[in-house]
Amino acid sequence: MNVRLPDRYRPIRVLGHGATAEVVLAHDEALDRDVAVKLLAEGFRGDPSVPARFAREAVLAARLGRHPHVVTIHDAGEWDGRPFIVMDFLPGGSVDDRLAAGGFTRAQALQWLGDTADAIDAAHAAGVVHRDLKPANLLLDEDDRVHVADFGIARALDEAQKRLTWTGTILGTAGYLSPEQARGEVATPSSDRYTLAVVAHELLHGVRPDGRAVGRVFDRALSADPERRFPTAAAFVDALEHTAAPTAVVRRQTPPDPTAILRRHRATERARRFGRRTAALAIAAAVASFLALAFGYVSAAEPAVVTCTVSPTDHDANLVVSGVGANDYCSNRAQDLTWRIRQGFSLRSPDLHEQLTLVCSARTRGLRIAVYDDGGRRIGHVLCGSFTGDQLASSGA
């Protein structure tokens, strides 16, 4: 095996090859344990964007700390001109391997989905969108529990201005893309939840969805409208668990052509048009996408859309408004509530250990409105109570 690693890591065998990297099983001589070392593929050294994404994988995964369902990163660096990441070695293979072999039960599939949902929601709470969830990135330990891997094309929500790709570039795996990703638009937490629904459909029915919804749960989870989908990944899996279904063994059917998913969303041609646009339009799209709301997006085709937030003291409960005329709405609500108004989307918490959560979202007069609270007060629930049932889109209460 002709693989060069830092002296600390003794290579054992190649575990697999991906589009931009290879993974090697190695023994960490310093700590006397086996690890998986991910190395950038030789052919990508000349493309500066790929090593940059590769390096970000370690940073974004490390941001999630020691989450039980995220692959733990132990080390990262560059050796012999090739970036590398050292992570846990998970001997159970991947969920994709199990799909290929078949023979698992619905209960097992729901456990994997629950583990994945837990990791996804934690990533979103930490401000990270994965953007490439698929069975091959769901690795299994010796107890058959999932650990989410490959944050190589993930995006940090609070670093939208520093993204490594322009809006209009399609990143992800065909067949698992959300409609907005297939159109080259900004991926959001809702995009990850759509992709999880595709994975769930494949696990529970043996095939990815082909445009025909299988029951109400998948009809909502696979909605083309991001705001209609479940508010969290855990809520989606919980709905699946409460859906009556047989406990038969699941086997993968012949997978559909991945491009059929793109055609279903009528996205291929639009994505090509994005790619042919001038640099000026790409920059304009990137600026517009910076206004993206959590659990939503702002299209470059809506230049008049703006985002503003209203809160009592720059923290705790936040009213986030996006749309044409959002500033007027925020100004009026700030005056009514004697709160403060800010331009742009920014959530802040009075305690770094607390996470702001979505209480509800609504639509009124063409505006998208989201209410966040740290859970310690009932301000968010009071705000949500000011909307009618027809205006409310979802609730995290």
109 and 80 share one domain: no
Angle at which helices 233-241 and 106-125 cross, to 10°: 160
Instruction: Tell me, yes or no, if 47 is annotated catalytic.
Output: no
Task: Indicate whether 29 pLDDT > 90.
Answer: yes
How many beta carbons lie within 10 A of that of residue 114, not counting itself? 19
Q: Give the residue with greater pLDDT, 77 vs 1.
A: 77
d(C-alpha 198, C-alpha 134), whole Å: 9
64 and 107 share one domain: no
Residue 51, classed as helix, strand or coil, is helix
Domain, as residue range, for 57: 9-88
268 and 367 share one domain: no
d(C-alpha 255, C-alpha 198), whole Å: 12
How many beta carbons lie within 10 A of that of residue 17, not counting itself? 10
Task: Indicate whether 117 pLDDT > 90.
Answer: yes
Residue 293 lies in a domain: no
pLDDT tens-digit readout, 284-343: 333 333 323 333 333 333 334 567 788 776 555 678 887 777 777 887 787 777 777 766
- Which CATH number belongs to the domain containing residue 54 in this structure? 3.30.200.20
310 and 336 share one domain: yes
**Marked catalytic residue, from 88, 115, 132, 374:** 132
Answer whether 0.85 is exceeded by the pTM: no
Residue 238 lies in a domain: yes
33-40 and 73-79 strand pairing: unpaired
Which neighbouring-strand residues pair with 340? 311
How many beta carbons lie within 10 A of that of residue 253, not counting itself? 12
260 and 138 share one domain: yes
Q: Identify the band that residue 228 occupies on the pLDDT scale cut at 50, 70 and 90.
A: very high
- CA 34 to chain CA centroid, Å, is 29
218 and 335 share one domain: no
- Which CATH number belongs to the domain containing residue 223 in this structure? 1.10.510.10
